[in-house]
């Protein structure tokens, strides 16, 4: 997710457009320090799609980051979504198409079964949303290349969750293998 945020900031500087909307933060639930002053920051408004093991993991991470604001959650299991909505104070939307119709999102995190990745990513990109998708992106390299080209043509970020790439242990192993 940090990679998505950094990528959005790079795009922001390169094309001179502010992608996320501005909001005020500082409520106790969103502050890193008790008593922190309210400050104006850019927040990426994101919807988390899929609330299984990886979806819940991404939700916990993105919900803890000040640079992101979770504006909706979506899952085919209504019970899971409704419980998180009730206790997590997040908006649950039962259908992916309804999430895409929301006016207040900048990006989606897709953590659904692999067979649904390609159509979901394609719809999000067509709607003009940035995408972070759990691995693998698609079932074929041709589909992945098509989605990559679509994202580039629309000047959108489409990132796959290869998180092990950024873990120090794996970087050390790569150095050993490369030497």
The 10s digit of each residue's pLDDT in 103-114 is 999 999 999 999
pLDDT at residue number 15: 34
Check: CB of residue 45 under 8 Å from CB of residue 107.
yes
Long-range contacts from 5-14, C-beta under 8 angstroms, 24+ separation: 5/44, 5/65, 5/67, 5/68, 7/157, 7/159, 8/44, 8/107, 8/130, 8/157, 11/155, 11/157
Separation of alpha carbons 85 and 161, rounded Å: 25
Helix (H, G, I), strand (E, B) or coil at 128: coil
Digit-coded pLDDT (tens) for 153-176: 999 999 998 877 667 888 888 899
Check: CB of residue 120 under 8 Å from CB of residue 149.
no
Check: CB of residue 109 under 8 Å from CB of residue 46.
yes
The closest of 125, 130, 132, 124 to 162, measured between CA atoms, is 132
Structure pTM?
Answer: 0.73
Secondary structure (DSSP) of 136-168: PS-SSHHHHHHHHHHHHHTT--EEE--GGGGSH
pLDDT at residue number 126: 97
pLDDT band at 116 (very low <50, low <70, confident <90, very high): very high
* Residue 143 clears pLDDT 70, i.e. is over it: yes
């Amino acid at each position: 997710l940090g990679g998505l945020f950094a990528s959005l900031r790079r795009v922001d500087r390169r094309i001179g457009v502010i992608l996320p909307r501005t909001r005020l933060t500082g409520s106790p639930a969103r502050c890193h320090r008790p008593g922190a002053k309210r400050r104006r920051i850019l927040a990426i408004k994101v919807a988390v799609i899929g609330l299984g093991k990886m979806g819940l993991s991404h939700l916990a991470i993105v919900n803890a980051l000040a640079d992101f604001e979770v504006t909706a959650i979506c899952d085919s299991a209504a019970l899971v979504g409704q419980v998180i909505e009730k206790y997590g104070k997040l908006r649950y939307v039962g259908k992916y198409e309804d999430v895409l119709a929301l006016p207040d999102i900048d990006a989606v995190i897709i953590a659904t079964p692999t067979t649904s990745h390609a159509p979901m990513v394609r719809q999000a990109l067509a709607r003009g949303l940035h995408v972070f998708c759990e691995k693998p992106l698609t079932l074929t390299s041709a589909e992945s290349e098509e989605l990559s080209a679509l994202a580039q043509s629309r000047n959108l970020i489409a990132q796959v969750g290869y998180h092990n790439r950024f873990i120090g242990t794996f970087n050390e192993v790569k150095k050993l293998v490369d030497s």
